[in-house]
Structure 1
Amino acid sequence: MKKRLGIALLACAAAAQAAPLEWRGISLSGAEWGEKLPFPGVHGKDFVYPSVDSTAYYQARGMNLMRVGFRWERLQPRLMGELDEAELARLRGFVDGTTARGLHVLLDPHNYAAYKEVRIGTTEVPVAAFADFWRRLALAFKNNPRVQFGLVNEPHGLPTETWAEAAQAAIDAIRATGARNLVTVPGNGYTGAWSWFETTWYGSANADVMDRVHDPLDRMLFEVHQYFDKDGSGTTPDCLSPHIGEERLRRFTAWLREHKRRALLGEIGGGSNPVCEQAVQGALRHLQANADVWAGWLWWAGGPSWGDYFMSLEPEATGRDKPQMRWLEPFLGDK
């Protein structure tokens, strides 16, 4: 037991001495909520944007990237139409205030590659509509170099080839505006790192298709998500083993290196227990040890409406940190 504890302490010390990855942050949730209610819902009741002031807590602990979720349908109520002025103002208020603090913001249309639950690539929601949305969003934010463009959250329910086509069309539309902002590109099948090679339940494997997607400016990252419970969904607080973090990332890391690509671990998290602590820290040590292909990570989640959700990193009402914040300290930047 003492030997294992000594090894764990040495590993944490090594992680603390390693330079932190470029991007360390959190997904702030709330503005994408309310999709099951009569849409678009009421701002302040059914959905709410996180406050700029709330980002100070994370910044003080060494985080530098805030991922903000929102709904495509609220921002663009009609496909190929203008962006909604009120919703854009809400998003812009958060983005402008947060980036003025020196933080970066990753825009996250939290839509699963669908519009009103109809998948991209159908007659109702053609690929051209997705590209048009990103053209408009890029025009709105391209002059802020601290804004990053996450194409969409966790595509699923469509062929991987269709998703790759849509991702490429969106990148091309973004670059046609003159925007040079960093773009993150998820894979199909909920973009799990551990299922990047899967072919049995979501169609062609990401590993066989997603390398087709390229950015002419070479300013894109693949965005994958990874949880450590039994089915990798992040819906339960238990992690499968202390070593599952590194194990579920290893093969995707090799794919990145083989294809000369880089990635962002856009969602990671676990319940407050010793096994998840070891799994999460093992995953983050793996990222740091492979910094040539990993650009950073984001914890899931924060935001104003989570209550006692087991992965919420929002501080207690007293200001006290959640236990998981301690896990992340060796992997964060200067406070």
Structure 2
Amino acid sequence: MSLLFVLSFYLLSVVRAKVQFLGVAIAGGDFGCEIDGSCPTSSTQLPLKGLGGGDGAAQMNHFVKDDQMNMFRIPISWQFLANNKLGATLDSNNLGKYDQVMQACFSTGAHCMIDIHNFARWNGGIIGQGGPTDEQFVGLWTQLATKYAANPKVVFGLMNEPHDLDINIWAETCQKVVTAIRNAGAKSQMILLPGTNFDNAATLVSSGSAEALMAITNPDGTTDGLLLDIHKYLDADNSGTHSECVTDNTAAFATVADFLRQKGRQGLVSETGASSAASCMTAFCAQNAFINANSDVFVGLVAWAAGSFSSSYLLSLTPTKQGNGLVNNALAAQCVVRTWLEAKEVVVAPLPSTAGSATSSGSSAAGTGSATAGTTFSAPFRPTTGTGSTGQSTTSTTGTGSMTTALPTGGVTGNSTSPASSRTTSGSSGPSPTQPIGGSWAATVSAPKSTGAVFSVILVLLCTW
């Protein structure tokens, strides 16, 4: 009996599936920010030519028109928005400059993410834990939410990479901010909830971050639009400052995916990146293919980074000018765009079993259909160990080091610095019309253990498809 004939008993269907949102960080507003939350405004390079930075407007138009991207992350420091006056009304001049970048983003039709890039700090003090008060942080977000409340395509990224803090107290702080954003009129937009240890996918669950953040609700008690924020790099210390990739992170992302499925919740990978080294071309592509294959719980991926970074920056995704247009580098073309446009998901029906059963309620972001009683379906395909395109196993590096231990150069002027960490069209059907992004959903799945071997065979086939 041929292999393909045997597989015909197992493959119920092969459907195209991918995260609903794909994009790139358009960096520059974060340049100079350190992990202690100090962000000298003199280092800011807002990514617009008219503001002295990179041509972020042209980049975003290119990514949307040529690559069908639909989400951009726009980092900015709290200090810049407030003109270094903690707790004050936001500076109208600086906010106006940041808004120019946001409007350039909105003009493309994409979703645009506000990213406060302060590591849960202001000049060394932790928000709500000895530094800025919760009220001051709430004040920042109340002003931003009020400004953008009428725009359904704004995304609120509460904070870039909190670290070394009490996660339960931090979750209480985030709850106050979520309540304030909703009460300011931004009733339905996505809000990203970041955990400690630099929002590291490898420790989001084990650190208690994910559990604490999932307790946050909207004022009406729902969780619609509330997403777990997820970051991860592929180098040895998870800093995003080394050229070689040592993991494809599938084990780390599988842990987060399992947690989200158990909770009936979703997350968004808002930062991940790699160099163009051969090891990264393999591992980064494999990681992003895995994220796309688990689009029921991962609704988006925003990669790091373009904007005011030059094309020589280690993790650069900045497109270069060619003729009258822009072209992507190999990393962006193959590991960000191609893994998304060519994403596939396998839905497996094991050999008939009288013990098999499946029930489902609600819908996932992947838009999968309902199960028929008496038929056994698999969860979205997730190998227990990561495999790169070569089929070799890799391991996931937890990494507790800062994602900004080394500040790379590469800004437009060639001497500006930016944190290495702040550097991930809809899926097959996107969220169900009755299921808001981030809202709770439930699914019960059972499958014989024998399907594991079949999964391994299918993965090999997919890697060569």
- Paired residue type of 1:55: M
Q: Which structure's CA Rg is the greater one?
A: 2
Aligned-residue offset at 1:135: 0.7
Q: Are 1:313 and 2:317 matched, yes or no?
A: yes
CA distance in 1, matches of 2:256, 2:250: 11
Aligned-residue offset at 1:97: 2.5
Q: Which runs of 5+ in 2 are unaligned?
A: 1-13, 342-424, 427-465
CA gap of 1:152–1:43, structure 2 versus 1, over 3 A, is closer
Tell me the equivalent position of 1:28: 26
Q: Are 1:330 and 2:339 matched, yes or no?
A: yes
Tell me the equivalent position of 2:147: 140
Aligned-residue offset at 1:317: 4.4
Q: Which runs of 5+ in 1 are unaligned?
A: 1-13, 200-204
Which of 249, 259, 277 does residue 263 from structure 2 map onto?
259
Q: Are 1:40 and 2:47 matched, yes or no?
A: no
Aligned-residue offset at 1:315: 1.7
TM-score (norm 1): 0.85
- Paired residue type of 1:331: W
Cα shift readout 1:260-298 (whole Å, capped 9, x = no counterpart): 110011112212133322222222222222221110101
Aligned-residue offset at 1:153: 0.2
- Structure with the higher helix share, 1 or 2: 1
Three-state SS of the structure 2 residue aligned to 1:132 is helix
Q: CA RMSD in A?
A: 2.4
Q: Which aligned pairs between 1:279-298 and structure 2 lie closer than 5 A?
A: 279-298=283-302
Tell me the equivalent position of 1:82: 89
Aligned-residue offset at 1:48: 4.2
Greater displacement, 121-130 / 180-189: 121-130
CA distance in 2, matches of 1:42, 1:29: 12
CA distance in 1, matches of 2:252, 2:52: 33
CA distance in 1, matches of 2:77, 2:206: 28
CA gap of 1:295–1:111, structure 2 versus 1, over 3 A, is same
Cα shift readout 1:66-112 (whole Å, capped 9, x = no counterpart): 10000111112333321110111111111123212211110001010
Three-state SS of the structure 1 residue aligned to 2:313 is coil
CA gap of 1:72–1:48, structure 2 versus 1, over 3 A, is farther
Asked if the contact 2:268–2:301 (Cα under 8 Å) also holds between the matched residues in 1, the reply is yes
Q: Which aligned pairs between 1:195-274 and structure 2 lie closer than 5 A?
A: 195-199=203-207, 205-215=208-218, 216=222, 218-241=224-247, 244-274=248-278
Greater displacement, 41-50 / 117-126: 41-50
Aligned-residue offset at 1:208: 4.1
CA distance in 2, matches of 1:72, 1:223: 19
CA gap of 1:35–1:321, structure 2 versus 1, over 3 A, is closer
Higher-RCO chain (CA-CA 8 Å, sequence separation at least 6): 2
- Paired residue type of 1:125: P
Asked if the contact 1:160–1:206 (Cα under 8 Å) also holds between the matched residues in 2, the reply is yes
Runs of 4+ in 1 over 6 A off after TM superposition: none
CA distance in 1, matches of 2:55, 2:328: 18
Asked if the contact 1:64–1:104 (Cα under 8 Å) also holds between the matched residues in 2, the reply is yes
Tell me the equivalent position of 1:6: none
Identical aligned pairs, as a percentage?
Answer: 26
Aligned-residue offset at 1:47: 7.9
Cα shift readout 1:207-244 (whole Å, capped 9, x = no counterpart): 44222222345111111101111122211121114xx3
- Paired residue type of 1:212: A
CA gap of 1:314–1:26, structure 2 versus 1, over 3 A, is same
Asked if the contact 2:227–2:265 (Cα under 8 Å) also holds between the matched residues in 1, the reply is yes
